[in-house]
Structure 1
Amino acid sequence: MRTQKCLTLFCLLFGIIASANAYVERDLLQKAADIPELKSVLLMDRQWVPYPDYTDRTAWEQFLGDYRNDYIKQGEKRLDYEWKVVKATDYIEYERSGNRRIMEDPFGSNNGAIADLVMAELAEGKGRFINQLINGVFQSCEMTSWVLSAHLSAQHSKRSLPDYKEDVIDLTAGDLGSLLSWTYYFFHTEFDKVNPVISERLRHELQKRILDTYMKEDRFWWMAFNYKPGTLVNNWNPWCNFNVLQCFLLLENDKEKLAEAVHRTMVSVDKFINYTHSDGACEEGPSYWGHAAGKMYDYLQLLYDGTGGKISLFDQPIIKNMGEYIARSYVGNGWVVNFADASAKGGGDAPIIFRYGKAVGSDVMMQYAAYLNSLSTRKSLSSGRDMFRTLQSLLYAKEMGEVEPSYQSPAYTWYPETEFCYMTNKAGFFLAAKGGYNNESHNHNDAGTFSLYSNTTPVFIDAGVGTYTRQTFSNERYTIWTMQSNYHNLPMINGVPQSFGSRYKATATSFDPKRMTFTANIATAYPEEAGVDKWVRSYTLNKNKGEVKIQDSFTLKELKEPNQVNFLTWGKIDVSSEGIVRIDVNGEKVELLYDKNTFTPSVETVALDDPRLSNVWGKEIYRLSLNAGKMVKSGTYTFTIKQNNK
């Protein structure tokens, strides 16, 4: 029963109900080519592959350049690697305790070893890594499933132990499928010299688990073939389809079958592009951009290559907008604007941002990628088990290195459909606010919240999300504090926080670039028991001074409990002076001014025991609560945030 409840909320969060206004039937890919047209333009027999054959050692030395020895050294670390067994109880543990890592860690370690061995053998070409690669390939083939325990609810049994009677395609099955397809492409002849059964078995498993399963199944939610109004289509769609497309283009030799399969992926990916707002913002946040818009770009690039450039969406404005979101969401010094489950750290992967930018003709993206690259200390261009990204990064490395690094936050960026608003000023403030609704992908109940950075340092923050467990994607999700509106920069109205669901959303959102003001009515994000008729929140950024004014104008239907306005901050808080809250974040000092006759402040220290949070923020963050002393049916609260340079 509990497993079924988990699946139900997983569907609610990631596959069933979303904003009814999000979907527009553009069908750009299907309009670009039908199956007969595909048959006429598809490049067969892997003619589209832009990399040297394994045996062309001179070409590989030139292709890898200065990175060659790094790949060999990384592979040498795997020569004595002990391949890990993923035990049955590791899968079952997900049902017992909600722990995903006990299954994912050994599985991920094996997959990473395969990727390292592939690149090492391509770099050296002497056969030194072949035996270990065979061990990894054969062990993978012996596994019942390549799907994560947390995703096996897609089985008919709904259980977390793999069922030998059926195959499922999830993110990791697709990742491993594409990695092993590249392994087969480069090394099947070398495997045959040892024993032909190795390649035969690998080819069989790829056919059964990926190619046949994709063509015969419509039931996986991420495919969105049975799309209904309100269905959410998130990063799973382009990610899985990108992996599937690689497998087909590398393995399928029948043109009829290949055209049918490629077109099927086009129909599916169209659902993701249709779902995305034309403003291009990623509602899942920057951490997921590489898996959402980024995987969509990889898919489109692969489709472009596989058809000799005959099928391309790179001139479509929405595709460019989706790309530039990652650059515009960068604050500086490694910090990004994070909403939902996204982390506040990480500016994206420079090579894919560059490639995407080049494809769509975006100087913003290419210069931003060069900027990120100039800060990088990486010795190799590796994307782990994503072999396509690793090889593409190498293909474009020299060109990216020739671009002048440059990045400066624009004065403002407004996403009117997704309802994200970024504002910057001359004093070093970066203000990010959002409207939206409380059933976005990887949703937090956060309609109307904001983050504020002073000279790239986060001051008022969105904590992000902890390590994923069964609870994260279950009917217990909103018992987790990081998901709740009262641990975002939002009010508790009549003692009531925001609720989960598409009906709970910001309304009447607007942005005035002249006044640098973002406004939203967030009353509609609260349930009926909040007794609120109107709660209009506005954020105004002073263009020249380090000052932000926050105003809450409200009308309540009834009075139940005093209102509480919460602020989550990274810095130490001093509330010793009435009407002033002093915040110090690593020497960056900010003051929040409030009406001392209306509010009494209190501070909660939020200990961060989860490494996914503590790796970003350290051991603790703080929640400032301004507690109203009087209950009134209508009124206006005003808060001013100022830099304190004294």
Structure 2
Amino acid sequence: MTWRNRVIEKLRADAAQLEQEKVTEIDFRTYREFMTNGEREAYEQQYFYRRKRVTTFGLMLYVCPHDMHYVSLLENEIWQICNEFTWCLPAHLDPDREEQSYTMYLQTNHLAYTVDLFAAETAFMLAEMVTMYKERLDPFLIDKVAIEVDRRVFTPFKQQTFHWERAAHNWASVCGGSIGAAAIYLIADEEERNSILTRVNETMKYYLSGFQEDGGCTEGYLYWQYGFGFFCYYADLLKKVEPVNLFHDPKVKQIALFQEKIFLSDNHIVNFSDAPPHAAPMIGFTHYLHQQFPEVHLPNKYLARTEIVDHCGRWAPAIRELQWYDDRLQGSDWPKQNYYLKESAIFLSRKKEGSFAVKAGHNEEPHNHNDVGQFILYGKNQVFLRDLGAGQYNKDYFNHNRYQFICNSAEGHSVPVIDGTCQQAGKEYRGHFVEVEQKYDIDRLLMDMSQAYPADVRLLRELKWMHTDQPVLQVMDTFQFNQAPDSLVESFVVADLPYKCKEDMIVLMGEEVNLEILYDRESWEPAIERKDFINHSGEKEYFLHIVFNCNLLQPMIQADITFRIN
């Protein structure tokens, strides 16, 4: 069975199930929950469930264009979305708009709306649906969509500027691209449309400014899929109606090449920042990028997800997975090679027997974690030294309490703790690669991490990656103090695996291979603790936290710890 047939089979089953399920409207208390206790989950579950329904029925109408049953199901879902109180998530609301006072309403004589990621996406989705299916949908509903998109998105956009218009991250491309796409579909007046597209094109410049020349996405792989995806959806529509081709920017090509530079193996990814440990390439999107830039690697199709409707029920990427997929294109394994993203300060070595990735950077990156010097080690279908990735999003996750979450704090990363002090948040806390040597069977990286700590310390981290049949990673940290510290801890975050301790070695037991951690037992005292955190999906996830306490505190200290896969 082809990938496309598997996708359609899954869509058909999902549509049948969704049709049988009862839909409840979001009640007032659920809406107010974020404002009262900072929780997002209950509201967003219902909000995104509605989007999954409309997207699934819309996709089935694309697959079965003459099935009037799907027309009826789709019309009902569109109608319900048109009647929602807001298309914006409560976590993103401007309280002076949706929740304006009666007095303010009397002064302005109109309802005001916030335009966030999801309000803009909703406008794009509905505009595209009513254009694609204009011969089948009720004309009244088509007009209703045009009215709702205008008053909820176009009018607020024309009346003011938004913070995301100058953002150097995914908000710019998703919000701007969605509004631009909706305008292309719904606004017939050329002057009005061009006014919107001119602003959107400027926003896209800000989005691209968030990338270095090497095209690396420090937000994480899924935010690359998300933000760059919407950039491409808009750029594709724009060049069909205007003499403007955003793909001609040289940086866009480098961003398109980022995908193949961030996978450890198969569906295991380098999940620095707010990213999950596993991800699937969007195969239709990748085929489109390959058509724009033939250098883009085509991955194996079995790695691609067949559930094209994501957890947010996004229409734009889902429909393009079907439209852009080309069954004639064949894929292959991720290339076994090195990638050094100098400006983004990320290094990845992907070899047959194992993979290794490390980052420098600073601690004010988009979706930042305090993680200068963090690294990941993978071997034989097992991530041993891991990154916890994204935690569960709530109000505290994005305010001053962000680094109370272990997945965001330096405590949840494989970096030292000096005098009881971890790395802090801020652009001034940073590191950089001093040397990067790449040879046939060994890579050597030297990183200066001195500025990543508030303490007066000179800290160099040297990593030697020996990618032989039994890969070895040697980590050597050299600390130079003005005077001996009161404490020094080497900290490592590893997978939740069975382990045993030997005289000068800790052995983690994977399914296919083990990881041996070798250390100097005279200088360092190990301790192992099983910990947990709540991941992005709201599930409790466990990991092992291995710390080595320094026994010989002096002005100059060297830690030499070796990780051997066998």
Give 1:337's aligned amino acid.
Answer: V
Match status 1:606 vs 2:531: yes
Give 1:95's aligned amino acid.
Answer: M
Query: Residue in 2 aligned with 1:171?
Result: 117
Change (3 A) 1:486 1:386: closer
Matches of 1:69 and 1:341, distance apart in 2: 32
Give 2:367's aligned amino acid.
Answer: H
Give 2:156's aligned amino acid.
Answer: T
Matches of 2:19 and 2:247, distance apart in 1: 42
Query: Residue in 1 aligned with 2:457?
Result: 533
Match status 1:639 vs 2:565: no
Give 1:216's aligned amino acid.
Answer: Q
Change (3 A) 1:576 1:389: closer
Give 2:561's aligned amino acid.
Answer: F
Matches of 2:12 and 2:557, distance apart in 1: 67
TM-score, normalising length from structure 2? 0.91
Query: Residue in 2 aligned with 1:311?
Result: 244
Give 2:34's aligned amino acid.
Answer: Y
Match status 1:111 vs 2:35: no
Change (3 A) 1:519 1:110: same
DSSP 3-state at the match of 1:409: coil
Query: Residue in 1 aligned with 2:413?
Result: 488
Matches of 2:82 and 2:538, distance apart in 1: 36
Matches of 1:639 and 1:65, distance apart in 2: 49
Matches of 1:100 and 1:127, distance apart in 2: 36
Give 2:160's aligned amino acid.
Answer: E
Flag the structure with more relative contact order, 1 or 2, with Cα contacts below 8 A and sequence separation at least 6.
1
Deviation at 1:314, TM superposition (A): 2.8
- Report Cα offsets for 1:428-449 as digits up to 9, x if no partner: 1211000000011110000111
Q: Is the 8 A contact 2:266 2:303 kept in 1?
A: no
Q: Is the 8 A contact 1:319 1:360 kept in 2?
A: no
- In the alignment, which of 330, 335, 345 is matched to residue 268 of structure 2? 335
Query: Residue in 1 aligned with 2:479?
Result: 554
Matches of 2:432 and 2:360, distance apart in 1: 8
Match status 1:100 vs 2:40: yes
After TM superposition, the structure 1 stretch with the greater mean CA deviation from structure 2, 158-167 or 401-410, is 158-167
Query: Residue in 1 aligned with 2:80?
Result: 139
Change (3 A) 1:425 1:142: closer
Give 1:118's aligned amino acid.
Answer: G
Deviation at 1:346, TM superposition (A): 0.8
TM-score, normalising length from structure 1? 0.80
Matches of 2:205 and 2:114, distance apart in 1: 22
Deviation at 1:320, TM superposition (A): 1.7
Change (3 A) 1:251 1:432: same
Match status 1:215 vs 2:158: yes
Query: Residue in 2 aligned with 1:22?
Result: none
After TM superposition, the structure 1 stretch with the greater mean CA deviation from structure 2, 206-215 or 384-393, is 384-393
Structure 2: where are the runs of 5+ without partners? none
Q: Is the 8 A contact 1:463 1:613 kept in 2?
A: no
DSSP 3-state at the match of 2:492: strand
Q: Is the 8 A contact 1:79 1:129 kept in 2?
A: no
DSSP 3-state at the match of 1:374: helix
- In the alignment, which of 147, 150, 157 is matched to residue 91 of structure 2? 150
Matches of 1:513 and 1:128, distance apart in 2: 60
Q: Is the 8 A contact 2:489 2:548 kept in 1?
A: yes
Matches of 1:215 and 1:157, distance apart in 2: 15
Query: Residue in 2 aligned with 1:583?
Result: 508
Give 1:263's aligned amino acid.
Answer: T
DSSP 3-state at the match of 1:344: coil
Matches of 2:227 and 2:33, distance apart in 1: 29
DSSP 3-state at the match of 2:490: strand
Task: Number of aligned residue pairs: give it.
Answer: 552
Matches of 2:100 and 2:391, distance apart in 1: 22
After TM superposition, the structure 1 stretch with the greater mean CA deviation from structure 2, 543-552 or 435-444, is 543-552
Deviation at 1:327, TM superposition (A): 1.3
- Report Cα offsets for 1:336-386 as digits up to 9, x if no partner: 11101111111321211221122122242xx22xx1x234572x7556744
Deviation at 1:297, TM superposition (A): 2.2
Q: Is the 8 A contact 1:287 1:348 kept in 2?
A: no
1:163-312 alignment runs, 5 A limit: 165-188=111-134, 190-192=136-138, 196=140, 198-218=141-161, 220-224=162-166, 233-307=168-242, 310-312=243-245
- Report Cα offsets for 1:119-153 as digits up to 9, x if no partner: 3334242422344333322222222210011111x
Matches of 1:631 and 1:560, distance apart in 2: 6
Change (3 A) 1:601 1:613: farther
Give 1:142's aligned amino acid.
Answer: N
Deviation at 1:112, TM superposition (A): 1.5
Query: Residue in 2 aligned with 1:120?
Result: 60
DSSP 3-state at the match of 2:493: strand
DSSP 3-state at the match of 1:482: coil
Give 2:155's aligned amino acid.
Answer: D
Matches of 1:491 and 1:78, distance apart in 2: 49
Change (3 A) 1:640 1:148: same
Query: Residue in 2 aligned with 1:419?
Result: 345
Q: Is the 8 A contact 2:285 2:324 kept in 1?
A: no
Change (3 A) 1:144 1:509: farther
Deviation at 1:631, TM superposition (A): 1.7
Q: Is the 8 A contact 2:434 2:448 kept in 1?
A: yes
Q: Is the 8 A contact 2:390 2:535 kept in 1?
A: no
Structure 1: where are the runs of 5+ without partners? 1-63, 225-231
Matches of 1:407 and 1:324, distance apart in 2: 15
Give 1:140's aligned amino acid.
Answer: I
- In the alignment, which of 486, 490, 493 is matched to residue 568 of structure 1? 493
Deviation at 1:606, TM superposition (A): 0.9
- Report Cα offsets for 1:251-304 as digits up to 9, x if no partner: 010111112211111001101112210100010111221112222222222222
Query: Residue in 1 aligned with 2:519?
Result: 594
Deviation at 1:328, TM superposition (A): 1.6
DSSP 3-state at the match of 2:332: coil
Percent of aligned pairs with the same amino acid: 18
After TM superposition, the structure 1 stretch with the greater mean CA deviation from structure 2, 386-395 or 536-545, is 386-395
Matches of 2:136 and 2:380, distance apart in 1: 55
Matches of 2:323 and 2:159, distance apart in 1: 35
Matches of 2:81 and 2:198, distance apart in 1: 29
Q: Is the 8 A contact 2:97 2:112 kept in 1?
A: no
Give 1:141's aligned amino acid.
Answer: C
Q: Is the 8 A contact 1:570 1:585 kept in 2?
A: no
